[in-house]
Copies of this chain bind each other. A is one copy, B any other.
Amino acid sequence: MSEKVKVIPLGGLGTIGKNITVIEYKNDIVVIDCGMGFPDEQMYGVDLIIPDITYLLENKDRVKGIFFTHGHEDHIGAVPYILKQMNMPLYGTRLTLGLIKSKLEQHGLEKSCQMHSVEPGDCIELEDIKVEFVRSTHSIAGACCIAVHTPEGIIFHTGDFKVDYTPVDAQTMDLERIGELGKEGILLLLADSTNVERSGHSPSEQTIGKTLMRLFDGVKGRVIVTTFASNIHRIQQIIHASSAHNRKVAFSGRSMERITEVARELGYLEIPDNTLINLEDMGKYTQDQLTIITTGSQGEPMAALARIAFGNHRMIRVEPDDLFIISASPIPGNDRLVSRVINELYKKGVEVIYKAIEDVHVSGHAYKEELKLMQSLTHPKFFMPAHGEYRHLKHHKDLAKQMGMKDDHIFIMQDGDVLELDREKAAVTGRVRAGNILVDGIGVGDVGNIVLRDRRHLAEEGMLIVVAAIDLETYSIMGGPDVITRGFVYAKNSEELIEAVRVAATKELEMCLAYQMVEWYMLKANIKKVVEQLLYEKTKRRPTILPIIMEV
């Protein structure tokens, strides 16, 4: 066994999401995070993406567990799917584990799992290495950096972070400890690259509290606020503003109810007595005594906010004096969905406050100056930009170089690349299997490129089926050809076109039969070709053409 440290990102590089990093030394393999990814617009019908963990399965005996930096979906979302393939201990702060537990319950897996709750500052001793949790700040409570102590030096993974000097829970990032670790000797830094393109320093989460206070002043109707359900500190501030304005608070949306319940139970969210009410009890209060906190900040059509806006929420109708606050930014790709909800609310005549209008959201990821601070405190020997698309990794590399790091000490890696390092040097020495497993419904991995290609083609052009029954003894057509379309043209407006297809297919089929040309593949190919040409000529479209010939 090599005496070198290996660091292998199995996910999270070159794309946002699906974060999972493997760190190994001798007999120990530790996994940092186990997140899900999000399908892009070309992955029709795919619900979510999980990482390929073949490498872990092949090295099962050495895997000591998953160590979580925080509880966001892109860091914990794949856990149920991965534990089904391979059970292992889970380490994280109470909120992180609480959120994982509630996920595992949905999959009926909570009984078999081994959860180890840690406090920031805790250090887990394994066979050859130690894993230390260091308190961090991010847009979710209970976030940590993870320091893996090896005989060759420390591997320091920031997780997702921002440097918030005035966090809502007053639990500041443990910068002193990070400095101390830097002094001790950090061999490799892996750091969050998400906001490397933004200059300056991210505003503190507390700034939102002040804006909310001001916005709540003098509102006659209900205040309906949407944010990420996991942003406990944001929710805490909405609750502060509500109770300061004598408003009760109700939650709407499954993940909002679930996560706030976990956070309350674990003491991360404080709700003053007699403040929380059920949606069902809203009728007992006047509108100016109510705040509703909902899911749907990304405009998701099935989430609470969109349902309210479009008038199909079970309990909540838009009322004229309502004030809506969208306390989140659209993730790239969701702009149109969010815009649709804003437009609909304005059409209903209510006020809507969102990022373009007021400062009702701050990012949870470090800007340039914070990233420089992290470089300074850790002054690592080697550096691997993490958590970002290639452009972010590249700019993070540039930033480190500006601060004096040597080009060949910085590694922009791809998922599956193996970085081997000791106290002297580091190099990418190989690759292991890594990739996307697509989850659709309860099927894991049964949707792949071919299925997606077909869906794409069906989506863009629709399909046309030619079906016929033939008798191979008499070489005659026994039924059909019939023509059926889906997603191609209005059948009733296109009778002429469909009839032309039927005639052409019949002619071709008769000719093939007349020549006794009944090799199955050729028969289908010929019909397909004739129909394809006809349709392209008449419509300039290329639907999927499916000739079905049955022998009877």
- Min CB gap A416→B, angstroms: 15
Which residues of chain A from 437 to 474 have a CB within 8 Å of any chain B CB? 440-443, 446-448, 450-452, 454-463, 465, 467-469
The bracket for how many chain A residues form the interface is 35 or more
Across the two chains, which residue of chain B brings its CB closest to A349? B394
* Chain B residues in 8 Å Cβ range of A544: 486
Q: Are A490 and B391 in contact (CB under 8 A)?
A: no
Q: What is the distance, in angstroms, from A34's C-beta to the closest C-beta of chain B?
A: 22
Cβ of A333 within 8 Å of any chain B Cβ, yes or no, is: yes
Interface string of A540-551 (1 = CB under 8 A from B): 110010101011
In Å, the complex CA distance between A552 and B45 comes to 37
Q: Known contacts being A469-B550, A487-B451, is A45 close to B441, with CB within 8 Å?
A: no
- Chain B positions within 8 Å of A482 at CB level: 548, 550
Segment of A157-165, A335-343, A420-428 engaged in the interface with chain B:
A335-343
Task: List the B side residues contacting A280 at CB < 8 Å.
Answer: none
User: Is the beta-carbon distance between A346 and B390 smaller than 8 angstroms?
Assistant: yes
The smallest C-beta distance from A140 to any residue of chain B, in angstroms, reads 24
- Given A197-B357, A339-B391, A459-B44, check contact A540 B441 (CB 8 Å): yes
A332 at the interface (CB under 8 A from B): yes
Q: Is the CB of B40 within 8 A of A446?
A: no
Does A484 reach chain B (CB closer than 8 Å)? yes
The smallest beta-carbon distance between A107 and chain B, in angstroms, is 13
In the complex, chain A residues 314-348 whose Cβ is within 8 Å of any chain B Cβ: 332-333, 335-336, 339, 342-344, 346-347
Residues of chain B lying within 8 A (CB to CB) of residue A446: 489-490, 493-494
Contact A489-B451, Cβ < 8 Å, known A45-B459, A347-B390, A463-B463: yes
Asked if A484 and B342 make an inter-chain contact with CB atoms under 8 angstroms apart, the answer reads no
Residues of B within 8 A of A459 (CB): 44-45, 455-456, 458-459
Tell me the minimal C-beta distance from A547 to chain B in angstroms: 10
Check A89 for interface membership: any CB of B closer than 8 A. Answer: no
- Cα-based distance from A457 to B391 in the complex (angstroms): 35
A-B contacts besides A346-B394, A456-B459, 4 pairs, CB < 8 Å: A45-B460, A441-B540, A454-B487, A458-B487
